[in-house]
Structure 1
Amino acid sequence: MNNNQNVSETFLKNASELSALYVEDNLDVAKVAQKLLKLFISKIDHAANGEKALSKFKSKSYDLILTDINMPKMNGIELIENIREFDPHIPIIVVSAHGEQEYMFKAIQAGIDGFILKPLEPEQFKRVLFKAIEKTLIYKEHNKNLSILKQYQDITNKSSIISKTDPSGIITFVNENFLKVSEYEENELIGRSHAVIRHPDNPKEFFKDLWYTISKKKESWEGVIKNLSKSGKPYYVKTVIKPLLDDKGKVLEYIALRNDISEIMSEKKQLISSLESNNNAILIMIQIENFDILDKFYDTKTVEKIEHIYGTTLLNHMPHNQAFKKIYTLGDGCFAISEDFDKLVAQYPELDVEKQLHKFIKNTRNSTIKLENIDYDISVVVSYSIGTKNLYENVRYGIEKAIDENKNLIFANNLMKEAQKNAKNNIETIQMVKKALDDSKIISFFQPIIDNNTKKVIKYESLVRLINENGEVISPYFFLDVSKKGSYYTKITNRVIENSFLILDHIKDNVSINISVLDIENDAIREKLITLVTKPQYKGRVTFELLEDEHIKDYRKVREFIRLVKDVGNAKIAIDDFGSGYSNFERLLIYSPDILKIDGSLIKNIENDEFSRNLVETIVVFAKKQGIKTIAEFVENENIYNILTALGVDYSQGYYFGKPEKLI
C-alpha cells in the first residue's frame, strides 16, 4: 500500500467520524443527498427548515452544515447568519437550485464554504463535500498544533514574530523575525497599518471582529491569519494580540506575538493557497516514473534520499531554471512548481512552456542520481495547466492520464471534466455493485473445460457475473476493477467462493475458481479457502486459478497458501492467462503450478498467426517436460480445437464447447 492510499484511508476514516446537519424542505432531494453523504459521513441529522435547524445546532455539536436557501419559517441565508454568530469556523455548504442564484452573493457574504447546484450531481457533490470535510479536519488538526505552539510562545520571544502598534493600529515596532517572514524592510512597515501584509483571502468581517475585540472589548484576540509577503508568497501565522492598558483602562498600544505555522500546513495546502492567490497561474506537476517500483526495491531511507536529492536538483534540469523558484514536494515521488504566468511571460517573453518541459524531461532522463553504491536513472512524467480554475485537479488527473497512455508530457487544461465523468461512472458502478450484493445478484456462471482426447467435460470454471436492476447480465470487466478501490471487492470474492463450493454439492465434476494475490493476502479469505478445501466432500475437486498481478507484496504468503491447499485439500494450482501480461517463467518457481492456462489472445489468432502458434507450441513443450497440464482458452471453432490437439494441449475451454451459464 503506498502513501497515497494511506492518506486516503486516513482521510475517509476521520471523515466518517464527523457529524453533519442537512437542512432541506424537499424530502426527495434530502433522501438523495443523505444517501450520498452516508458514503463518507456516518452521523447525519436532517431538519426540514431553518428554524428547526437552528434549534438542533444550538443543542448539539456539528462539524458540517449543508442547507438549502429557499425554505419556510427561516431561509438558508438567515440560518447561516445565525450560525455564524455562534461559530465562525464551521464549514457551511449551500445546496441551491439554478433559480436561486440571486441569493448566492448574500450566501457568500454570510460566510459559506461552497455551494452545490440542484439537481444533485454526485461528482460535484463529492468534490465540494470533500473540500468542506478537508477544512474541518485541518481546523481540528490546527487547533491541536496551535495549542502546542502557544506553550512555546511563553518560553521565549526569540522564536516569535513581534509587532507593536499605537491605539490607531499604526505600526511602531517590528522585530527581526517579522522582517524576515514578511520580506519587508523596517522603514517600509513603520508608520503603516498591518494591511500592508494582509492576504486578500481574509474576509473584512474577520478583521472587524479582531479590531472590535481588542479596541472595544479590550480583550486579547487569538487566531490564525493568512498574510502575504512582499514577494507575493502567502504564509500563515498563529497570532495573539493583546491591548496594553493604563490604570484608567485606556489603550496605550497593542502588542502582537505570532508564530509562523506555514510549515504545519502541508505542502499541498501551501501549493493550493499559492494558486488561489494568483489570477493566472501555471502549475507544473512532476512525477518520478515507476516510483512504486523504486519503493519496493530499496529501503525507506534510501527512497527518501533519492526523492530528496532529485527534489533539490530538479530545477537544474529546467533550461530556464531561474524562472522558477519554489518547489513543492507532494510525496510519493511527486513534485510541483507554480508561478504567476503573466509575470513569467512578461519576464521571459521568449519562453515556450511546451519546449521547456520537453527539454526538462530529456535532461532528467540523461541525468543520474548517485547515492553510495546506487546509480539511479530518473525518468519523469509531467503534467501542466495554465489558468485560474481547477489547476491542481487538472494536473493531478493529467499525471494519471499520461501514465495510462504511456506519455511523458500532457497539457492538462480542462481534464477535470473527463475526471468528473469517470468519477461519476465509478460512483454509479459502486452503487450498482452495492445493490447487487444486497439483493444477492452477484452470481456465478460456469463454463465447461473439456479433455481434448475424449471431448468430455472434466471441470467447470466459476465466472462471476452481476445481474443489474434491469435483469441484464454484467461482465466483471465493467465492475470488478472499480470494486477493488473500495470494500466491495472482498465481498464479491466471498460471494464467488460461496457460489463455487455450493455448486460442488450439486455436480459430480470439479470446479476451477479464480483468485488474485489480493485475495490470498487477505487473512480471512485465505483461511476460508483452506478450511473449505479440507472438507472431505471437496478434497481434490478444486483448482485455484491464480490471476497474474505485478503488485505482489508478500511472496511468502502466496507460497504458503499454495503449499497448504495442495497438502490438506489436494487442490490444483493453475496460472491464468499464461503467455501475456505479467506472465513469465519466473512465476512458475513461485507458484509450482499443476496447470497453465494459455492466454486467449494467443489462441484466438492461432489459425492465421504463425507467431502465436509457435509460442503456444513452446509453452506446451515446456509444460510437458515439467509435468504441467495445459488449458487453452477462447477455443471458438473446430479448426482451433484441431490445431491445439495437434500441438498437444491437454484441455480446451471456449464457446465451441459451451458458453458460461448457470448450472442450477
Structure 2
Amino acid sequence: MESTKTASLKQMSRGMTLLYIEDDTQARDAATSLFSELFNDVIVGVDGKDGARLYAAHHANIDLVITDITMPHMNGIELIHSIRHINPDVAIIVLSAHNEANYLAQTIEAGVDGYLLKPLSIAPMISTLGKVLEKIHLKRENTKSALLLKQYENITNTSSIISKTDPKGVITFVNDKFCQISGYKRDELIGKAHNIIRHPDMPKAAFRDLWRTIKDEKKTWQGIVKNRAKNGDTYYVKTTVQPILNPKGEVEEFISLRHDITAIMSDKKQLFDFLEANRLSVLILVQIEDYPILEKFYDKASVEKIEDAFGKNMLYLMPNRWGFQRVYHLGNGLYAFAIDRRNCKATKEEIYAVLEQFLANVKEYIVKIDSIEYDISAICSFTYGIFRIFEDAKIGIENAIQSKQPIVYADGLSGIEYDNALKNIETIHMIKTAIDNRKIISYFQPIVNNTTQKIEKYESLVRLVTEDGQLLTPFYFLETAKKGRYYSKITRIVLENSFAALYKIPEVSISINLSVHDIERDEITSYIEALLTQHSDEAHRIIFELLESEDIKDFFVIKKFIQTVKAKGVKIAIDDFGTGYSNFERLLSYEPDILKIDGSLIKNIHNNQVNQHIVETMILFAKKQRLTTVAEFVENEAIYEIVRDMGIDYSQGYHFGKPKLF
C-alpha cells in the first residue's frame, strides 16, 4: 500500500523543484538523499540566511520549500517571512523538533502548508507531502483555468457584443462593443429593459418565441435580430441567448452574445470598402426623385418592391460603356455606381452625356409590380475626386434636389460644406456661451386690436446677446441651433421667459412660437404641461403659434398636443398663414383659434392687388370658420387702414411698436 502511495507521490512531484533548508549536517544529508528520489531538483540551504539567498536567486523555479525552525543567522520563522515577501503563495512545509512547539503559533500565522516532525518518518512524510503536492496541483489547475477563462473572456469581449439581464429582461451588464454599436452609454442601458434597442420592424412573434425558449424551456435561442441604435440607425446581429441556471434549475440570469452582421447585409458598407480600396474612383449617385412623396403614396412594402425592381434594372438602363459590375442600394431611394478610375478615363463632359442618356432611359422605364405601375424619375450626381468623394456626391444629390437640376458634377462640394461647418461651429459656440451666461432673452412685440387700437397681446420673440453685446434675431442662430443639441434648450428658455412675462404684463395674452420639432420632442411637451399646471390661473392668456410645415412625422402627435393644451385654456394660432403648405383640411383638423397672415402678403398690400385678393380670400375663410385674424408686418398707417378696412381683427408691426424687453 505504501509503495502505491510512494509511486503516486513521485508522479505528483515529477518536474518539481524543492528548496530544503537544514543546519544539521547529518539530518540534512539523510533528508536530501530521500527528497532527491522524489523531486526532479533539490536545492539545499545550510541555514536560514543561506535559504533566503537561495530562494531569492531561484524563486521562479521553486515549487516547494521545506525548512527547519531553529537555525543560526536567521531562524525558520524569519526565513518564511522573507520568502512570503517574494511570493505569498509558494507552498511551505515546516520541519520541526518536538521541543519547538513554542513556534507553532508563529508558523500558523505565517500560513505554512504542512508540518513534518524530526526525525523524519517515511509514512508521515509521504502523507504530508502528498496533501501539499495535491494542493499545489489544484492551485496550478485553478490558475491555469482562471488564465484560460480570462483569455476566453477577452477574446469574446473583443469579438462579441455581450449583455446580461435579470430574469425579467432588465439589463445588468453590457460590454464596450454593445455600447459602441447601440450608441448608448453604459449608464443609459443598465437598469433598462432590453427593448430599448428593439427595432419596431421586428415581429412580436419572434420575441414570443425567444422568451418561450429561454424562459419556459430553459434552452438556448439563436436567430437574427434587427435592432435600432440611439441615433435611429438600423443594425443586424446574429444573436445567441443562453439562460444561466442555479443549482435548483431556476433561471438566475440571461447572457446574450451577438455578432454584427450589418456589413454582410449592407450595400453601403460594401461601397465604402470599394472606395477605400480604390482611392481613385468614379462615383455616381442616383436618387429617386420625389422619394418622400413615393413613401406617402404607397405602403412600406410596396415602396421596397419598387426600389428593389428599379435597383435590379439600373445596370440595363445605364449605358454601360465602362463596365459597371453592380449597383449599390443605399436605402431611401438612393443608389450608387462605382468603378476604378483606370477603367473609366472619361472626361466630365463624357460622363455627363452618359448620365443624360441614362436618365432618358429611366423616364421610359415603368416599374410594374402586382397591380402597381410607377413611372420612375431620377436625379444624379457624380465625382471622380480623390478625397471625400462619397461626401461630395451626396452633397451633389442634395444640391440637385434643391436646384431641380437632373445632373450635378459634385467634385469638391464637401470642401464648401466644410467651410459652412466651420461657420456652424462658431455659431454653436456663440449659442452655448449665450445659454451658459443667460443671454438668451425674450423681446415682446405688441399686437393691437384694429377696432380699439389697444394692445391686447404680445408676441414673445427670442433674441441672443453676444459676448460683445450685439443683439441678434433668430435669423442668425436658430437654424444652426436646430442642427445641434441646443435648440430644445433655447425653446425651454423662451417658454420660461414667456410665462414669467404673464406677471409683468397683466391682462394681456402672450403668444409663443412653437415648431413641429418642439412638439415632437417629449421633453418639451412635458415641460409645457408642467408650466401650464404651475401657472394654471393664467393659462388662458397663453397662445401657441404653430408654424405650418410639411415636415411633420406624425400628425397624431401634433393633434394630441393641441387637444391637451386647449383643454387647459390655451389658444392656438397658425403662424405665417399663406406661405406654407396651406392645406385647409389639415389646418381645420388642428382647430385653431387664430390665423396670423404672413407679412410677405401684408407689407406691400397697399400697392399689390394680387396680394389683396389672396388676403381677402383668407379673411373670408377665417370668418366662416369663426377664426380671429392677425396681420403681420403692419409698418405704416396706410397698411393699417387697408387691413382694418378689409376686416382683419388685429395688427402687429413697427407701426404700433418694435419688440421690447420687459
Q: Is the 8 A contact 1:385 1:412 kept in 2?
A: yes
Matched, 1:328 2:319: no
Counterpart for residue 470 of structure 2: 472
CA 1:354–1:564 in 2, change beyond 3 Å: closer, same or farther? Answer: same
Q: Is the 8 A contact 1:382 1:408 kept in 2?
A: yes
CA apart distance, 1:463? 0.8
Letter in 2 for 1:404: Q
SS in 1 for 2:264: coil
CA 1:553–1:279 in 2, change beyond 3 Å: closer, same or farther? Answer: closer
1:143 to 159, 168, 173: 159
Letter in 2 for 1:563: Q
- 1:2-151 mapped onto 2 (5 Å cutoff): 143-144=159-160
SS in 2 for 1:387: coil
Counterpart for residue 638 of structure 1: 637
In 1, Cα distance between equivalents of 2:433 and 2:364: 52
Matched, 1:554 2:554: yes
In 2, Cα distance between equivalents of 1:140 and 1:503: 59
User: Deviation string for 1:597-622 (max 9, x for gaps)?
Assistant: 11111111212211111000110111
2:406 to 408, 412, 420: 408
- 1:293-372 mapped onto 2 (5 Å cutoff): 293-320=293-320, 323-345=323-345, 352-372=350-370
Q: Is the 8 A contact 2:388 2:414 kept in 1?
A: yes
Counterpart for residue 594 of structure 1: 593
Letter in 2 for 1:636: E
In 1, Cα distance between equivalents of 2:276 and 2:497: 53
| Structure 2 unaligned regions, length at least 5 | 1-154, 162-260
State the superposition RMSD in angstroms: 2.6
Provide the identity percentage.
Answer: 48
- 1:206-285 mapped onto 2 (5 Å cutoff): 264=264, 266-278=266-278, 280-285=280-285
Letter in 1 for 2:595: L
CA apart distance, 1:530? 3.1
SS in 1 for 2:442: strand
Counterpart for residue 581 of structure 1: 580
User: Deviation string for 1:262-320 (max 9, x for gaps)?
Assistant: 96384333323323444642110112223234334443332222221111111222234
Q: Is the 8 A contact 2:575 2:597 kept in 1?
A: yes
Counterpart for residue 463 of structure 1: 461
1:500 to 498, 501, 513: 498
CA apart distance, 1:659? 1.2
Counterpart for residue 253 of structure 1: none
In 2, Cα distance between equivalents of 1:275 and 1:467: 46
The alignment of Structure 1 onto Structure 2 pairs a total of residues equal to: 408
Letter in 2 for 1:520: I
In 1, Cα distance between equivalents of 2:587 and 2:325: 51
CA 1:629–1:605 in 2, change beyond 3 Å: closer, same or farther? Answer: same
In 2, Cα distance between equivalents of 1:421 and 1:322: 34
Letter in 1 for 2:462: V
Counterpart for residue 420 of structure 1: 418
CA 1:322–1:523 in 2, change beyond 3 Å: closer, same or farther? Answer: same
CA apart distance, 1:331? 1.8
Q: Is the 8 A contact 1:329 1:336 kept in 2?
A: yes
CA apart distance, 1:378? 2.2
SS in 2 for 1:352: helix
1:486 to 471, 484, 496: 484
CA 1:614–1:562 in 2, change beyond 3 Å: closer, same or farther? Answer: same
CA 1:452–1:435 in 2, change beyond 3 Å: closer, same or farther? Answer: same
In 1, Cα distance between equivalents of 2:416 and 2:541: 47
User: Deviation string for 1:160-197 (max 9, x for gaps)?
Assistant: xxxxxxxxxxxxxxxxxxxxxxxxxxxxxxxxxxxxxx
Counterpart for residue 40 of structure 2: none
SS in 1 for 2:438: coil
In 1, Cα distance between equivalents of 2:519 and 2:418: 33
Counterpart for residue 199 of structure 2: none
| Structure 1 unaligned regions, length at least 5 | 1-138, 146-260
- 1:141-220 mapped onto 2 (5 Å cutoff): 143-144=159-160
SS in 2 for 1:469: coil
Letter in 2 for 1:513: I
Matched, 1:433 2:431: yes
Q: Is the 8 A contact 2:385 2:412 kept in 1?
A: no
Q: Is the 8 A contact 2:322 2:343 kept in 1?
A: no
Q: Is the 8 A contact 1:426 1:482 kept in 2?
A: yes
Counterpart for residue 376 of structure 2: 378
Counterpart for residue 385 of structure 2: 387
CA apart distance, 1:322? 6.6
CA apart distance, 1:554? 2.1
SS in 1 for 2:344: helix
Q: Is the 8 A contact 1:285 1:396 kept in 2?
A: yes
Counterpart for residue 153 of structure 1: none
Structure 1 stretch 523-532 or stretch 460-469: which is displaced more? 523-532
SS in 1 for 2:460: strand
Counterpart for residue 177 of structure 2: none
Higher-Rg member (1/2): 2
Q: Is the 8 A contact 2:283 2:382 kept in 1?
A: yes
SS in 2 for 1:487: coil
CA apart distance, 1:462? 0.5
Q: Is the 8 A contact 2:282 2:344 kept in 1?
A: no
SS in 2 for 1:539: helix
SS in 1 for 2:537: coil
CA apart distance, 1:351? 8.4
CA apart distance, 1:540? 1.6
Counterpart for residue 525 of structure 1: 524
Counterpart for residue 48 of structure 2: none
Letter in 2 for 1:267: D
In 2, Cα distance between equivalents of 1:305 and 1:378: 13
CA apart distance, 1:418? 0.4
Q: Is the 8 A contact 2:315 2:326 kept in 1?
A: no
SS in 2 for 1:607: helix
Q: Is the 8 A contact 2:446 2:455 kept in 1?
A: yes
CA apart distance, 1:580? 0.9
Q: Is the 8 A contact 2:263 2:269 kept in 1?
A: no
SS in 1 for 2:549: coil
CA apart distance, 1:329? 1.6
CA 1:645–1:474 in 2, change beyond 3 Å: closer, same or farther? Answer: same
Q: Is the 8 A contact 1:555 1:590 kept in 2?
A: no
